[in-house]
Amino acid sequence: MRPTTTPLLLAASTLLAAGTLTACGGGSGDDPDTVKISFKQSTDNQIRVMDTYLADIKKQFERENPGKKVKLVPIKAPDSEYYTKLQQMLRSPKTAPDLVYEDTFLINSDITSGYLKPLDTYLAKWQDWNQFIGTAKTAAKAADGKTYGVPDGTDTRGLWFSKAIFEKAGLPADWQPKTWDDVLDAARTVKKKVPDVTPLNVYTGKPAGEAATMQGFQMLAYGTGKDPLYDPGSKKWVTGSQGFKDSLKFVETVYKDKLGPDVSDALDPNFATRVRGELLPEDKLAINLDGSWLPQDWGKGAGHEWPEWSKKLGLAAMPTQHGQAPGKVSMSGGWTWAIPSKADNPDLAFKFIETMQTKANAKKWYIANSGIAVRKDVAADPTYVKAQPGIKFFTDLVASTYYRPAYPEYPKVSTAIQEAMESVTTGDSSVDDAASGYDEEVDSATDGKVTDK
């Protein structure tokens, strides 16, 4: 399940969402011995990793808790429809399940709406919570300081590069850039010495959606300084930032200097599919700023089988702007398990979370889903580290990763970022004008909850 989502939330009609409630089997009911669990089922009939995993945990839970039952309530829908259907279910005690699968991208919207229950009382008594990495714990922490979900894994982002193209360009096979200029210099070298390939891909513009915001812009912005988008101290969104302009300047440089794909390709909503399925496997792209989940597409039975990928591609961390501490940047998303405020059996629901999140079960899930561990003990486990090439590299990035400031206003802020990126990508706006436009959009979208930096 790819964790990078697009801000299409609540786009499906209320009629469609309401009609799904009956199909999903209603709420948790009055049976104190049954825990009802709703989750996103893949729309791809060939990929049912979550179904298989939860079916196994259901058997284990019922075996270990005689007399208790688990009812799985899959919601088969694309991301945007899943969010809508889930929110419809959460509004009423008649339809609310006991446990739900929440994307970190939108969990704060449900928290603000009062749909979710804080878990701090449970977490304080749960010894395994100490195994979760600190950055991952913040993924489901709201502005009120309370935690509303338990992460079941995460993702990280870095630079993928073609070893064959680097060899032709005379660049090192163990390339590890220390600054933004190092990245751009490598791209310029590729352009000069291997002119028939795309030197560097940075996702940009509204068609790319959250991929532009997260894989592209925020991988730059979080390398310019602390809290580049949202100031947790004042609880306001940041405007007037030099780091924001510098990040836009990087994007502008990639496309103005023709170091990136053609603008028409970059603004194609299907371009990410071409990157994974064509450009990287066919050595047509030298450097790709992207996520840890790419190998999902290259495994046996996947859409673009490429068993040689680990020999053909190198991995490097995205550096900070000038090499300043901590030296590298990653962004993380992912999903969490949360308990609805209207759940009938919250205690039983958390007990199910405890079963899912033993070290053994968590490791099984990370490996099956090509996820990145958020438990320290799993991250150090040799069987996890060896499960897939590159997994140690992306897991090590968790220590220096950041999560989006995914407060209720975030989807609108994300769209404003994409618009600013697109305007400098096409050359329709200067960096200063695009940044000013962003500031105005954020001021409007957040009702003036902004602070200059």
Chain-centroid distance of CA 204 in Å reads 16
For residues 89 and 92, give the distance between their C-alpha atoms in angstroms, rounded to a whole number.
6
Residue type, 281: P
- Locate the domains of the chain by residue range: 14-155+333-397, 157-331+409-452
Q: Residue 377 burial (CB < 10 Å; 0-12/13-18/19+)?
A: middle
Tokens of 347: 């205690």
For residues 91 and 444, give the distance between their C-alpha atoms in angstroms, rounded to a whole number.
28
250-296 pLDDT, tens digit each = 999 999 999 999 999 999 999 999 999 999 999 999 999 999 989 87
The continuous run of DSSP H or E covering 83 comes out as: helix 79-90
Least confident range from 22-31, 112-121, 249-258, 345-354: namely 22-31
Position 428 pLDDT exceeds 70: yes
The continuous run of DSSP H or E covering 316 comes out as: strand 313-316
Position 5 pLDDT exceeds 80: no
DSSP assignment of 132-156: B-HHHHGGGB-TTS-B--EE--B--
311-366 pLDDT, tens digit each = 999 999 999 999 999 999 999 988 999 999 999 999 999 999 999 999 999 999 98
For residues 289 and 206, give the distance between their C-alpha atoms in angstroms, rounded to a whole number.
17
C-beta neighbour count of 232 within 10 angstroms: 11
C-beta neighbour count of 396 within 10 angstroms: 16
Name the architecture of domain 14-155+333-397. 3-Layer(aba) Sandwich (3.40)
For residues 265 and 278, give the distance between their C-alpha atoms in angstroms, rounded to a whole number.
13
Cα–Cα separations (whole angstroms), residue 278 to 2, 166, 193, 297, 298: 19, 18, 21, 11, 11
Residue among 91, 410, 43, 21 at smallest CA distance from 238: 410
pLDDT-derived band at 14 (thresholds 50, 70, 90) equals very low
DSSP assignment of 255-298: HHTT-SS-HHHHT-TTHHHHIIIIITTTT-EEEEEEETTGGGGT
Name the architecture of domain 157-331+409-452. 3-Layer(aba) Sandwich (3.40)
Q: Give percent above pLDDT 90 in the chain.
A: 72
